[in-house]
Structure 1
Amino acid sequence: MKKLVYYGLLLLLFFSPVHVSAQKESGYSATHLSFDNNLLKWDEVNSLLPKFSKFTVIDFETGLSFKVQRRAGRDHTDVQPLTQKDTKIMKSIYGGKWSWKRRAILVQFDDYLIPASMHGMPHGAGALQNSFPGHFCIHFYGSSTHRTDQMDFSHSLMILKSAGQLDDYVFNASSNDFVKIFVEGMNQQDEFILDLVLSKNWRRDKEFLTKLNDIQTIKIKQLELLTESPFVSEAQVEIVMYSKKNGKMKGNLHVSMVRSYPIDSWEVVASEIIFDVE
């Protein structure tokens, strides 16, 4: 189902002036429309989009788009909306409030349509007259943050989402990685991700929804698999979270996962999730 959303978006773009290019494992393929879902790597994007280049950002979920200019960035792009109108569109994508939450995007530049991820929080310096107080960051496959040489996990999930590859990644994830994906889905409040990892009735679980809606941020400090068999796995996760009601909280999260066959994807049982935090 998620891939149908991805392909549908590409088909809509196909009937506009936008074309699609993708990188193959053996090198770049210049076909105008590709469903290979291969990702353009950061080294190539860094050359393709140099400082002061202008390109279009397309939000994966809403389809809204706005223009930006790259102003800086060594391990990812630091960009600014081009105009006040672009700033207004970007803010509307985030529901009218600036946020560090990641969003899956597609970057359109010439004949390229590149899976990427952005956050929505102005920070640092800004130079354009656009009513945007600073710049924001866009990450591509292989990008890293200012603090580490590693890809940011939340950005990587969003890049896979915009590339139409998140389903496969989740399906093949180990139980350990599956828990990380689940926690990051809660951290980003991303229903697309939560639909992939949670039991199908999770939207009807009022207790879990109450906990989910109270989460401002949630981070893993330590993860331990308590039990693991071909069909059942349980994990205890030491977490630090910020509650909208109670502020900073610490404790453990208990996660139960099941699957019908060893070759199936794991599924987090929403009704058995336990938050033991204070």
Structure 2
Amino acid sequence: MKKLPIILLMIHLIIVCLLPMKCMADDVFYVDTDSPISLMIEVLPWDIANQIIPNGKIFTVIDVETGLQFKVQRRAGKNHADVQPLSLEDTKIMKKIYNGRWSWNRRAIITFVDGEMIAASMHGMPHGAGAIKNGFPGHFCIHFLGSTTHRSGKIDTIHTLMILKAGGKIEDYLNELDPYELIKIFATAVNIHDKEILTHTIAKTETQLKLTTILNELTYLGITHMSFLPVEDLNEQILVEIPVEVEFNLANKGKGKKDINFVIRRDSLIDRWYIDGQSFIKEF
């Protein structure tokens, strides 16, 4: 089985957080400045990635969590890359990444093409047409920063989170969120069972172990209503309490609905916001 080479692992662990980034408006959050160092992991916008990986291009996909890698070819796609595994062996590796079952779940990946490492996100569900004899019934999608779905033409939030995770930029992104956006990302992280993102949203406390237990049992958290104040009203606050109506599913108790008061706090006016884990424990 193809594993992530040691040199790439070292690069991912050591220099991924050194990339200079700048914030952008709306849903396109970060863009790297041009860098001559080809083996840095870059978080590039779709219009640039689209040129680097044109139709017909063969490149390597590296799964961030498992280190497994496989080759693919881009075959189509206007708003993102529609790709196919290059061979039967590549299909087997991709399926192993998804624990032997195809899934729409998004995963953080690194695309390695012509010496460049670019942060991206893929799902694992064959769909549509496929032309390569690889045992893969169709194609799958790879998203880069700012790319959109073909059907809705909108940016997929989970793909964006996975791209930032692959590029080591989740913390940078969360640093810019207001309390309302933070709650939405928290709920998303619960639903995709991503412990790394969850860890970054919650303030570290002595009750972390108990909170982890609750989050392991919380398999779904849907926001049905949230009370909003103007964001500028929060500028002079270090603690806010936000009423949120949620639907949820607990593995040991089943489905339910309730009102939750999320306590969001920060250490000073210049620090980022965190969800208070102790208050969340009390709610559940």
TM-score norm. by structure 1 comes to 0.77
Pick from 234, 240, 250: which aligns with 1:233?
A: 240
In the alignment, structure 1 residue 262 sits paired with structure 2 residue 269: yes
Residue 208 of structure 1 corresponds to which residue in structure 2? 214
Residue 100 of structure 1 corresponds to which residue in structure 2? 104
Alpha-carbon distance, 1:270 to partner = 3.2
Structure 2 CA distance for partners of 1:202 and 1:96, relative to 1, 3 Å: farther
Pick from 65, 68, 86: which aligns with 2:69?
A: 65
Q: Distance in 2 between matches of 1:209 and 1:195?
A: 11
In the alignment, structure 1 residue 76 sits paired with structure 2 residue 80: yes
Residue 47 of structure 2 corresponds to which residue in structure 1? 43
**What's the C-alpha RMSD, in Å, of the aligned pairs?**
3.6
Identity among equivalent positions (%) equals: 43
Structure 2 CA distance for partners of 1:256 and 1:108, relative to 1, 3 Å: same
Runs of 5+ unmatched residues, structure 2: 1-6, 23-30
Q: Distance in 1 between matches of 2:280 and 2:9?
A: 34
Alpha-carbon distance, 1:22 to partner = 9.8
What amino acid maps onto 1:90 in structure 2? M
Residue 26 of structure 2 corresponds to which residue in structure 1? none
Residue 176 of structure 2 corresponds to which residue in structure 1? 172
Q: Distance in 1 between matches of 2:166 and 2:214?
A: 27
Pick from 129, 132, 137: which aligns with 2:133?
A: 129
Structure 2 CA distance for partners of 1:180 and 1:50, relative to 1, 3 Å: same
Runs of 5+ unmatched residues, structure 1: 1-6, 15-20
Structure 2 CA distance for partners of 1:275 and 1:147, relative to 1, 3 Å: farther
Q: Distance in 2 between matches of 1:230 and 1:195?
A: 23
Alpha-carbon distance, 1:245 to partner = 8.4
Q: Distance in 2 between matches of 1:95 and 1:122?
A: 15
After superposition, the C-alpha distances for 1:197-244 in whole angstroms (9 at most, x for unaligned) are 1233444337623542x33xx554543247967222233445566777
In the alignment, structure 1 residue 223 sits paired with structure 2 residue 230: no
Q: Is the 8 A contact 1:225 1:233 kept in 2?
A: no
Pick from 182, 189, 192: which aligns with 1:185?
A: 189
Structure 2 CA distance for partners of 1:242 and 1:207, relative to 1, 3 Å: closer
Alpha-carbon distance, 1:45 to partner = 1.6
Alpha-carbon distance, 1:52 to partner = 2.2
Q: Distance in 1 between matches of 2:247 and 2:151?
A: 20
My pick for the range that moved more, 194-203 or 248-257, is 248-257
Partner-residue secondary structure (3-state), 1:205:
helix
Q: Distance in 2 between matches of 1:61 and 1:207?
A: 22
Residue 154 of structure 1 corresponds to which residue in structure 2? 158
Residue 88 of structure 1 corresponds to which residue in structure 2? 92
Partner-residue secondary structure (3-state), 1:173:
coil
Alpha-carbon distance, 1:266 to partner = 2.0
My pick for the range that moved more, 43-52 or 248-257, is 248-257
After superposition, the C-alpha distances for 1:68-95 in whole angstroms (9 at most, x for unaligned) are 1112211001111112221221122222
Partner-residue secondary structure (3-state), 1:124:
coil
Structure 2 CA distance for partners of 1:144 and 1:268, relative to 1, 3 Å: same
Structure 2 CA distance for partners of 1:83 and 1:145, relative to 1, 3 Å: same
TM-score norm. by structure 2 comes to 0.76
